[in-house]
Chain A
Amino acid sequence: MSSEEWQFVRFTLAMAALSTLLVLPAGLALAWALAKGKWPGKTLVETLVTLPLVLPPVVTGLVLLKLFGRRGPIGSWLHDQFGLDVVFTWRAVAIALAVMSLPLFVRAARTALEEVNPAFEQLARTLGAGEWKVFFTISLPLARRGVLGGTLLAFARALGEFGATITVAGNIPGQTTTTSVAIYQHIQTGEDGRAWALAAVSALLAFGAVLLAQLLSGKKKGGR
């Protein structure tokens, strides 16, 4: 593999890490809200959060293109206020990865939070804890294995994301080319050897992340 290809790998890792960081706050908030009781619009939110899992990734990419493009609602605001371009830059990569990996994280985190014994949360309230304190000192720590597993899954998903990324970020080596996009390109141009090399690296990374996630979810809950 050439140094350019290693750059693709580094870039993909960095983007996946960034997107996972982006996913965490929103994902935790969503997981918490969905885990706790009924509220109006809950089913709608659940559906929206699940959509990126089942929509064709290009479709998600298209939607992001519309939103973040120069003339889109969010894109134009960013351009006018901050001079920022999103589409066809690394920012689009990060956003695409985040959107595509959010559903996996929310699912895992929600399950983990739901499995926390409500007796602990109730008791914390009798000891004067407000909802934020209950979440950060009781629910989240007790759900940490599942949440961590979800984080790893989201990271692994982000590593392999293709359809949305190529739609909204394109293929600009050094700027927006991820490993999956590079592999696709190599196949198109008949450079199978290079495609396989990148594929191997990709597979190893994904395998490692998912294996860790499995190990974490397999252990006893609430263990030390």
Chain B
Amino acid sequence: MQIDNLRTQAGSAITVLFGPSRAGKTTALRCLAGIEQPDEGTISFRGDIWSDAAGGQFIPARQRKVGFVPQDFALFPHLSVAGNIGYSLGRMPGAQRSSRVREMIGWLGLEGLEQRLPGELSGGQQQRVALARAVAARPGLLLLDEPLAALDAPTRGRLRSDLRHTLQQTGIPALLVTHDRNEALAIGDEMVVMAGGRILQQGPVQEIFSRPASSEVAAIVGVETVQAGQVLEIGSELVIVSVGSTRLVALNNDLPSAIRDVYVCIRAEDVILMKGEPSQSSPRNALASTVRMLSQDGPIVRVGLDCGFPLTAMLTKQACAEMGLAEGMKVLAMVKAPNVHLIAR
């Protein structure tokens, strides 16, 4: 596994390490925590070198002042909630320590649970105790490994936005590992996409989702339609590509001038469906399509279309019903040029 140049912003941003499982995200996190030692390379935090394989330097975990929350929380089973939270505060005088523990308990809504043992807590409560324990000694960096993965789906949805809010309140920079797209979108400011032990792309969350830098990233962040295409014309502003026999108009976002083969990426949310004839409207692309498949995904319906190539659109159940969409029906699929994203091959 190899990670090059992971750099995060100064300040208290929340950075998400995003990617499929076995991408190396957890290993990276554990190296940052000081629990694992990389064979090569360096790790530094705010200018302090934490690990330098070539120079033989290694600052162990206990000297790094990090707050680590592993996936299964690892709450000490023999200590109460208060005991767990206060574990890192051994050096504080007793009164100060109790007051800090009380502060953490109040902040995360754990009142009444002080003397409970971890085995007696619900998943959501355990997660909050783990977080309180990590934050109690005011670490310089928070590391969370799939913080919501151990919870059941309804709890997860509920705690997602809570978690962002909570992390922001600490004012401590946080690095959070997840493979869940909704989590990354809901919680992260910055994102680092990883796969196969490498970093593929880094930047503000929204930007990566709307402009994946490669087809691999596009597949990871979940752009639904990724098709091979050929560039027919490059203008200074617009580009014309063909996917099969269908022509599409895209924006020229710094494409190399000699480019020929591209991947065409279109997110399902960016596809608008219309019945009837195309009349004057702003989207540059109005594709005659046939509905091939409808599949419901909670409040959303995924519509599989054939417009000369497979295209996926996403509609609300309501819109779908109003349009009376059914398999075999002919509709117009509209995509604005800025939403046809081209990736050089």
A55 within 8 A of B: no
Task: Report chain A residues within 8 Å CB of B74.
Answer: 117, 119-120, 123
A10 within 8 A of B: no
Q: Tell me which residues from 68 to 116 in chain B have a Cβ below 8 Å from any Cβ of chain A.
A: 68, 70, 72, 74, 76-78, 87-88, 90
Q: Tell me which residues from 19 to 46 in chain B have a Cβ below 8 Å from any Cβ of chain A.
A: 33-35
Binds A, one of B58-66, B193-201, B261-269, B304-312: B58-66
B76:A120 contact, CB within 8 angstroms? yes
In the complex, what residue of chain B is closest to A122 when comparing beta carbons? B35
B128 within 8 A of A: no
B117 within 8 A of A: yes
B60:A125 contact, CB within 8 angstroms? yes
Q: How large is the interface on A (under 10, 10 to 19, 20 to 34, 35 or more residues)?
A: 10 to 19
Question: In the complex the two chains form, what is the Cα distance from A117 to B67 in whole Å?
Answer: 19
A65: min CB distance to chain B, Å: 44
In the complex, what residue of chain A is closest to B117 when comparing beta carbons? A224
Question: In the complex the two chains form, what is the Cα distance from A122 to B70 in whole Å?
Answer: 10
B341 within 8 A of A: no
A215: min CB distance to chain B, Å: 20
Q: Given the known A-B contacts A120-B74, A224-B117, are A130 and B62 also in contact in the complex, defined by CB atoms under 8 Å?
A: yes
Task: Report chain B residues within 8 Å CB of A137.
Answer: 87
Question: In the complex the two chains form, what is the Cα distance from A127 to B62 in whole Å?
Answer: 6
B61:A126 contact, CB within 8 angstroms? yes
B133 within 8 A of A: yes
B177 within 8 A of A: no
B78:A222 contact, CB within 8 angstroms? yes
Question: In the complex the two chains form, what is the Cα distance from A56 to B133 in whole Å?
Answer: 53
A125:B88 contact, CB within 8 angstroms? no
In the complex, what residue of chain B is closest to A131 when comparing beta carbons? B62
Task: Report chain B residues within 8 Å CB of A123.
Answer: 68, 70, 74, 76
Tell me which of B62, B64, B66, B133 has the highest count of chain A C-beta atoms within 10 A of its own C-beta.
B62
In the complex, what residue of chain B is closest to A137 when comparing beta carbons? B87
Question: In the complex the two chains form, what is the Cα distance from A60 to B60 in whole Å?
Answer: 43
Q: How large is the interface on B (under 10, 10 to 19, 20 to 34, 35 or more residues)?
A: 20 to 34
A125:B65 contact, CB within 8 angstroms? no
Task: Report chain A residues within 8 Å CB of B117.
Answer: 224
Question: In the complex the two chains form, what is the Cα distance from A129 to B76 in whole Å?
Answer: 13
B77:A128 contact, CB within 8 angstroms? no
B68:A126 contact, CB within 8 angstroms? yes
Interface string of B155-190 (1 = CB under 8 A from A): 000000000000000000000000000000000000
A141 within 8 A of B: yes
Task: Report chain A residues within 8 Å CB of B34.
Answer: 125-126
A124 within 8 A of B: yes
Q: Given the known A-B contacts A119-B70, A133-B90, A224-B117, are A126 and B77 also in contact in the complex, defined by CB atoms under 8 Å?
A: no
B78:A122 contact, CB within 8 angstroms? no
B43: min CB distance to chain A, Å: 15
Task: Report chain A residues within 8 Å CB of B77.
Answer: 120, 142, 222
A21 within 8 A of B: no
Task: Report chain A residues within 8 Å CB of B35.
Answer: 122, 125-126
A128:B70 contact, CB within 8 angstroms? no
A127:B87 contact, CB within 8 angstroms? yes
B286 within 8 A of A: no
Question: Which of B61, B62, B65, B76 is the one whose CB lies under 8 Å from A138?
Answer: B76
B70:A124 contact, CB within 8 angstroms? no
B137 within 8 A of A: yes
Question: Which of A120, A124, A128, A222 is the one whose CB lies under 8 Å from B65?
Answer: A128
Question: In the complex the two chains form, what is the Cα distance from A125 to B67 in whole Å?
Answer: 10
Q: Given the known A-B contacts A133-B90, A224-B117, are A126 and B66 also in contact in the complex, defined by CB atoms under 8 Å?
A: yes
In the complex, what residue of chain A is closest to B63 when comparing beta carbons? A128
B129: min CB distance to chain A, Å: 12
In the complex, what residue of chain A is closest to B60 when comparing beta carbons? A125
Question: In the complex the two chains form, what is the Cα distance from A133 to B64 in whole Å?
Answer: 17
B115: min CB distance to chain A, Å: 13
A128:B88 contact, CB within 8 angstroms? yes
Question: In the complex the two chains form, what is the Cα distance from A137 to B62 in whole Å?
Answer: 15
Q: Name the 9 nearest CB pairs between A and B, nearest first.
A: A127-B88, A125-B61, A126-B68, A126-B61, A123-B74, A122-B35, A119-B74, A125-B62, A128-B62
Not counting A120-B77, A125-B61, A126-B67, a sample of 6 additional A-B residue pairs whose C-beta atoms are within 8 angstroms of each other reads A122-B35, A123-B68, A123-B76, A128-B88, A133-B90, A224-B117
